[in-house]
Amino acid sequence: MKSPTETRHILDALEAQHPGADTELHYTNAFELLVATILSAQSTDQRVNLVTPALFKRYPSARALAKTTSKQLEPRIHSTGFFRAKSKALIGMARALVKQHGGAVPADMEALVELPGVGRKTANVVLGHALGVPGLPVDRHVLRVSNRIGIAESDNPEVVEQQLCAALERKRWTRASDTLILHGRRVCRPKPLCEQCAVQQDCDYFHEARGV
């Protein structure tokens, strides 16, 4: 695996290739980002962004969402897929926020992962982007890209999160995740576009594929 210094240089190059990388989900506060991130599972950010304006208007707070029923909510999120499970998670999450946190989204990993439908990845997205607490969400893109380059070495998202966090300054965590996600979407796709990649010379996968 690459050293922390190498990892930092690689992230410098990737950040230069994808300046201003940020989540592509639309939101105006932590509650909205939490809802959008739950909806984004097995979907695309673009698809979620089509659904959320009307959804946030109808349910502008955890208190409003907590009062709804699956029958009312499911048609509003149907197009994001897995709508029954997502509806159950959203209502459960909103009710737990009201009951345990006065309707506010807690800026705390332990409290967030206790909420229905919220795993470490979702919690890290919300913490890093909406609550000012650096987090390094590891989705399938971060997992694929970091293992290919060799800045992480595991199929387990939590282990990859630990490896990347250990190599990078805390203040870089959120941007590093956004950058790796964007690189995975645009360049290091399942079928990678290595000729367009800023870290080609540092990438284990690239050298292995060419038998170097």
Half-sphere exposure of 121 (CA within 13 A, CB side): 22
At its nearest, how many Å lie between ligand SF4 and the CB of residue 186? Answer: 9
Does residue 99 have an active-site annotation? no
Nearer Cβ to ligand SF4, position 135 or 150? 150
Nearer Cβ to ligand SF4, position 25 or 152? 152
Please give the DSSP secondary-structure letter assigned to residue 14.
H
Q: Where does this chain bind ligand SF4 (CB under 6 A)?
A: 145, 148-149, 187-188, 192-194, 197, 199-200, 203, 205-206
Nearer Cβ to ligand SF4, position 48 or 197? 197
At its nearest, how many Å lie between ligand SF4 and the CB of residue 151? Answer: 10
CB contact at 8 A, 135 and 174: yes
**Alpha helices (runs of H) in the chain, residue ranges in sequence order:** 4-17, 30-39, 45-58, 62-66, 70-77, 83-101, 109-113, 120-130, 140-149, 157-167, 173-186, 204-209
Does residue 139 have an active-site annotation? yes
At its nearest, how many Å lie between ligand SF4 and the CB of residue 37? Answer: 25
Which of 150, 145, 124, 128 lies closest to 190 in space, CA to CA?
145
Nearer Cβ to ligand SF4, position 66 or 197? 197
Given 2, 86, 139, 202, the catalytic residue: 139
Which of 110, 164, 156 lies closest to 136 in space, CA to CA?
164
Amino acid symbol at 184: G
At its nearest, how many Å lie between ligand SF4 and the CB of residue 189? Answer: 8
Given 121, 155, 202, 204, the catalytic residue: 121
Residues classed as catalytic? 121, 139
